[in-house]
Amino acid sequence: MYKILPRSDGAVLGVEVSGTVTIEEEKELIDKANELVSKYGKASFLVVLGDHVGVSFEAAAADIKWIVTHMNKIARLAIVTDSKLLAALVDIDATFAKLAGISEKHFDSDELDQAWEWIEETMPTP
């Protein structure tokens, strides 16, 4: 399950994920991302991950497919989680994301305001 965070604005979409994301929910998120990309050319995403986050196989595959086909449309990606494992994975992924022109960064949950400030620094305008 997910909820759009109220600070989302312009080319920045903030999402809090908890529980399991279904393929239907993933499709909704992809539609929202496509709207931003269509309007702004590039978009940035802030994702807050709860403690027990899961994703269906179909949803994970749809997410990966969208990211791979839209890498040049992603400006920044902030992942907010207290999971040490996910933080390490974000750090590894950030190296590869940089090769695709994406700035990716991990923040702990107590750094949510800093994550918003970082993600909003380079908001594209229409």
**Secondary structure element (H or E) that encloses residue 3, with its range:** strand 2-4
CB atoms inside a 10 Å sphere around CB 16 = 17
The stretch 90-116 carries a mean pLDDT of: 90
Expressed as residue numbers, the domain containing 8 is 2-120
Query: What CATH number does the domain containing 81 carry?
Result: 3.30.750
- Output the pLDDT for position 123: 64
- Output the pLDDT for position 125: 54
Domain count, the chain: 1
Is residue 36 in some structural domain? Answer: yes
Is residue 125 in some structural domain? Answer: no
- Output the pLDDT for position 124: 55
pLDDT at 65 over 80: yes
- Output the pLDDT for position 116: 97
DSSP 43-69: EEEEEEE-TT-EE-HHHHHHHHHHHHH
- Output the pLDDT for position 110: 96
What does the pLDDT look like over 27-59, one tens digit per residue? 999 999 999 999 999 999 999 987 777 777 788
